Amino acid sequence: MNSSPLIDQLIEAFRCLPGVGPKSAQRMTLHLLERNRQGGEKLSSSLAVALKEVGNCVHCRTLTEENSCRICSSVSRNHKLCCVVESPADIFAIEQSGAYRGVYFVLMGHLSPIDGIGPEQLGISLLLEKLKKETTEEVILACNATVEGDATAYYIAEQLKTMPLIVSRIAHGVPVGGELEFVDGSTLSHAFAGRKPMDFT
């Protein structure tokens, strides 16, 4: 315990962040107080505004301060493609790749009955309503390559099988630049299961 209750309180507050333990929280706290109070004030005010103003997009459920996020509002996006992801962080990752120009739907998690997370908590009924109303031609299931992610993708695919659209799952397998001897068995089995014919044209 520090001699200052306020410092202890701030250290404890930083520990709510993922991957931040007692030492990291203490280091951040002391850095802001000793060397960067201006940065601390900026962090404090930005966080306060974001917590008050940021909500969910009415179309895709990602985090935004607007009613409709910039991706859903963009006329340059392909609204016939809908990529289903587990979290807003997945959108950041996909957007940085520059490989996708469609729109999204964010589940905010994955199916986990043990934690009380079912289809209702993931907004799957909202996804089905969205797909019925819009002119979607393909749904890309980009859930994580975990047991829960696979179960979630399979459940959604089952709900969509009667709808007149293509349902696809992102490929999983050996990473680019990866060497087979260092790739785990589960990843290799996904790679073999998802193999495709070589195109010589």
Domain ranges of the chain: 5-53, 78-170
User: Under CATH, domain 5-53 is a member of which superfamily?
Assistant: RecR Domain 1 (1.10.8.420)
How is residue 123 written in tokens? 């907004």
Give the pLDDT confidence of 87-115 residue by residue, as tens digits: 999 999 999 989 899 999 999 999 998 99
Instruction: List, as own/partner pairs, every contact residues 147-154 make where C-beta atoms lie below 8 angstroms and the sequence separation is at least 24, other chains included.
Output: 148/110, 148/111, 148/112, 149/86, 149/110, 151/110, 151/111, 152/86, 152/107, 152/110, 152/111, 152/122, 153/84
Q: Can you give the pTM of this predicted structure?
A: 0.86
Domain 78-170 belongs to what topology? Answer: Dna Topoisomerase Vi A Subunit; Chain: A, domain 2 (3.40.1360)
* DSSP strand pairing (102-106 vs 78-85): parallel
pLDDT of residue 2: 61
pLDDT of residue 51: 97
